Amino acid sequence: MDTAEFDRFIVEYPIFEYRVIDPKEIRVNERVRMICKNECPRYGSTWACPPAVGGLAECEAKLREYREAVFFSTVSEVRDILDFEENLATRAAHEEITDKVGAFLKEHGYDIYILSTESCDICTHCTYPEGKPCRFPERMHPCVESFGIMVSGITEQYGMEYDLGGNTILWFSMILLR
């Protein structure tokens, strides 16, 4: 990937940090999926979550299909970090930026696959698990954790910030490319 061109592109967005990483170096961990299952109220509620995204081996194989991955964070400031609703409301801006980065990479000839944040909320009522396919497979992005990826592990491995403290939130996405 031409990082100089990418740097010129992202300067317009509140992308806090990014790294271009080798998907072969991304470790997947069943423990992350267990956290989804045991702690996330959206587990099993959309095609963007486990178990709909497939088994861990399937997710790992998907990661390995790609040559590179752009892993990046955006930063948002909120009035009160303890206000869950206010925090969650900042997610939409991150998703929009993720789609713009994805569009930029596509325009530059890459075949991409996006992993982003949280479960999917595009439709009021998800078709999962009713046996019908996802209505918008091109717009729906599984969350990074659904693939068994520990975000804090990646930030540590690549020397990135995971938490800035105060009333700031970091959101993370990973765009696989080939």
**Which spans of this chain sit near ligand SF4 (rule: CB under 6 A)?**
46-48, 120, 122-123, 126-128, 134-136, 140
Q: Which is nearer to ligand SF4, 26 or 126 (CB)?
A: 126
- Could you give the 3-state DSSP secondary structure of residue 95? helix
Q: Which is nearer to ligand SF4, 70 or 120 (CB)?
A: 120
Spatial contact of 118 and 91, defined as CB atoms under 8 Å apart:
yes
Contacts of 94 (CB under 8 A, 6+ apart): 74, 76, 116, 117, 171, 173
- Could you give the 3-state DSSP secondary structure of residue 23? helix
The answer to whether the Cα torsion of 95, 20, 61, 110 is positive or negative is positive
Q: Which is nearer to ligand SF4, 100 or 135 (CB)?
A: 135
Residue 81 CB, shortest distance to ligand SF4, in Å, is: 28
Spatial contact of 74 and 88, defined as CB atoms under 8 Å apart:
no
Q: Which is nearer to ligand SF4, 79 or 132 (CB)?
A: 132
Residue 163 CB, shortest distance to ligand SF4, in Å, is: 28
- Could you give the 3-state DSSP secondary structure of residue 3? helix
Residue 37 CB, shortest distance to ligand SF4, in Å, is: 18
Residue 141 CB, shortest distance to ligand SF4, in Å, is: 9
